[in-house]
Amino acid sequence: MNIVFLKNVLLDGSRYVVGDEIDVGDDVAQQLIHDGLAKSESAKPLEEKKLKPTKPRKTHTKPTTNSAGIEAAFAGLPDLGEG
């Protein structure tokens, strides 16, 4: 299985840096992928995958009737005046 390293790794006495691609056995590849050290080369980025366009969702907004802002934060508190 072809993998690409996501982190610098020392594997079987060889040092690999980020971006290096190698072919390893499936067991080794699965362990490196599980540990977050590599990714499968066969995995395509989202830009390359053919995705169906989605329709925009209609959102229903309801007008709010309650006060907002600083007035709402201090509503119900007595005015103590200055001093």
Q: Which residue has the tokens 């490196």?
A: 32
Percentage of the chain modeled with pLDDT above 90:
36
Q: What's the CA gap between 24 and 18, in Å, rounded?
A: 16
Query: Which one is predicted more confidently, 36 or 74?
Result: 36
Cα Rg of the chain, angstroms: 28
Q: Are 17 and 5 a contacting pair, CB within 8 Å?
A: yes
Could you read off the pLDDT of 25-62 as tens digits, one per residue? Answer: 999 999 999 999 999 986 555 455 556 666 666 666 66
pTM attached to this predicted model: 0.50
